[in-house]
Amino acid sequence: MMLPKLLLSTLFLIAFFAALPSSLAESRNGLQYSAATSTKAIISNKTPPTSSFAIEQAVSHRGGNSGQRDSLTGAVIMTLVERVTNRVLKSQGISFPSMLGGCIALLGFMLAAEFISPGVGDSMFSSLSPGSALLAKWLPVFFVPGLAMLPLAPSVGSGFEVAKVLAVVIIGWAYSISTVTYPVLFLRLSQGASNKKAAPAPVKKLKKKAAPAVAPVKPFADETLSGLLKGSVATAILSFAATKMGNDLATPLQSIFLGISTFATYVWAARLPSSFNTFIHPLITSTILTLGVIYATGLATGFTFINVLKTYKTGTLDLMKTGAGDVLLFLLGPSVVSFAVAIYGRKKLLKENFLIVMIGMLISSGGGLFGTAAFVRLIQLGGKTGALVRLSVLSRNVTTALSMAIAGMLGGDVSIAASVVVLTGIFGATCARRTLDALGITDPITRGLATGASSQGLGVATLVNEPDAFPFAAMGMVLTAVVATCLVSIPAVKDALIKLSGGA
């Protein structure tokens, strides 16, 4: 039975990405755009030619069928790794997220291969990087179902309880960034690092001709958006017609329509002016638009909004019953596995600063979980019957993919967990750099680890123009999530968190 399930899983992946041919083929605005964000970070740290930037850039220039094939092949391999890991863990009765298990297994395999036969691990890294870049490019879309299902999530409570949740986000963020910043800075100073701002070099004032204005590169090409919109309209017509006729294909057609439209809403949102996206993240815009599409679908087919929303995520991957949200959440699995590729690409930096990085991540993950548990109990979040809400927010500083996994392991609600993480990321993206500047923190490793550990991907993105800090921000984000999930998978730690938060 294992082979059919693996084939089914890979078919989902191929079908959804095959529906986006223009996005895979865009050699200048696609993978090249995502690679460009880490150019300075990679170069400044003198990574070898097999760095993630070099690979992604090569893929972007290659383009065409070869680039598409490499991207899809890498993504499918990581899907198979996650599915095999899932089966192995279940067969052994081990309660551990298969996506994280696959990530650890793949990273361990590449490191072992490189140690045993130098060059083999780097070769695997080169082969998997296009798939990793593809999954990273679309990763935010896979979070939409978690937010879109909020209308079906248990109520947080009164407006006062909502204010408490916001307090968890803001105070929790301040707690995380400060508890990582000062221990890491202390260790860095003890190593002889400097936290003093370098004096700017004198620059001669030269008269320069005004450079022509260059339009900012958008993260997705016009062709991608056009293709997705056309696909949404075409599948909408087929879906509505099948529903009206009571055809057996009505459910799968509706899932395809809602899936493509979810991609379309995100691409449209990501292309909005940066001044708007600075305050309203594309993920939130996409979620709102997706809920609007679901509402319109109900009007067109004669069903209520809630009824259609329930079909968006049904909890099954049966081809005739699955919803678009189920497929998108399924794709979170290989996306988390792809973190192994990102970590491997920075193995030299990790090795050189292993002690500092791991101490910082243990503080951010363990301190974040237990500190949040104590705080939600102190403020009695959700009241006496709010155990579900309290357990849902414990993973507030863990990247969304694994935050939802942790919420599920603790018995919380994934939609509430995803919402809190997104709010934390937005707040961190707005305040992280300004806070570190105000505190006089200039050491790049400290800035990177503190931002990544507290502000998730949105905060990490704000350090793109700090080439020495950016790689550590990326590592901080990923390793905080990995360590936190590993801790929660330990029964004694899980029970302690539940008891401390008042969720027992």
CA distance 36 to 42: 10
Percent of the chain's residues with pLDDT above 90: 42
CA distance 200 to 275: 29
At residue 60, does pLDDT exceed 50?
no
CA distance 331 to 139: 8
Q: Among residues 274, 387, 339, which one has the least CA distance to residue 483?
A: 339
Give the rounded distance of the alpha carbon of 344 from its chain centre. 18
Mean pLDDT of 476-492: 90
Q: Angle, to 10 degrees, between the axis of helix 444-461 and the axis of helix 159-190?
A: 150
**Within a 13 Å sphere around the CA of 147, how many CA atoms are in the beta-carbon half?**
24
Average pLDDT value for the chain = 82
Q: How many helices (H) and strands (E) does the chain have?
A: 27, 0
Q: Which of 51-55, 337-341, 346-350, 392-396 has the highest mean pLDDT?
A: 392-396
Q: In which band, very low, low, confident or very high, does the pLDDT at 36 lie, cut at 50, 70 and 90?
A: very low
Tell me the three state secondary structure of residue 380.
coil
3-state secondary structure 176-233: HHHHHHHHHHHHHHHCCCCCCCCCCCCCCCCCCCCCCCCCCCCCCCHHHHHHHHHHHH
CA distance 254 to 312: 9
Percent of the chain's residues with pLDDT above 70: 82
Q: In which band, very low, low, confident or very high, does the pLDDT at 212 lie, cut at 50, 70 and 90?
A: low
- The answer to whether 295 and 265 have CB atoms below 8 angstroms apart is no
Q: Angle, to 10 degrees, between the axis of helix 414-438 and the axis of helix 400-410?
A: 130
pLDDT tens for each residue of 289-315 = 999 999 999 999 999 999 999 999 998
pLDDT tens for each residue of 80-123 = 999 999 999 889 888 788 888 898 899 999 999 999 999 999 99
Of 101-110, 440-449, 465-474, the range with the lowest mean pLDDT is 465-474
**What confidence score (pLDDT) does residue 203 get?**
53
Does 461 or 224 have the greater pLDDT score? 224
**What confidence score (pLDDT) does residue 48 get?**
37
Q: Which of 40-54, 210-224, 367-381 has the highest mean pLDDT?
A: 367-381
At residue 481, does pLDDT exceed 60?
yes
Q: Residues near 498 by Cβ (< 8 Å), separated by ≥ 6? A: 391, 410, 411, 504
The sign one gets for the Cα dihedral 328, 331, 333, 338 is: negative
Mean pLDDT of 253-263: 95
Q: Is 19 left (phi over 0), alpha (psi -120 to 50) or beta?
A: alpha
CA distance 273 to 100: 35
**What confidence score (pLDDT) does residue 235 get?**
94
**What confidence score (pLDDT) does residue 204 get?**
55
396: which 2 tokens? 């507030």
Does 234 or 98 have the greater pLDDT score? 234
pLDDT tens for each residue of 388-399 = 899 999 999 898
**Annotated domain spans of the chain:** 2-144, 149-194+347-500, 222-328
**What confidence score (pLDDT) does residue 59 get?**
41
**What confidence score (pLDDT) does residue 16 get?**
52
Q: In which band, very low, low, confident or very high, does the pLDDT at 319 lie, cut at 50, 70 and 90?
A: confident
- Give kind and range of the element (H or E) at residue 402: helix 400-410
- DSSP H stretches of helix in 92-158: 98-116, 120-138, 144-148
Instruction: Render 235-286 in DSSP notation, one character per residue.
Output: HHHHHHHHHHHT-TTHHHHHHHHHHHHHHHHHHHHHTS-HHHHTTS-HHHHH
Q: What is the pTM of this model?
A: 0.76
- Give kind and range of the element (H or E) at residue 306: helix 305-312
At residue 20, does pLDDT exceed 70?
no
At residue 178, does pLDDT exceed 90?
yes
The sign one gets for the Cα dihedral 362, 367, 368, 369 is: positive
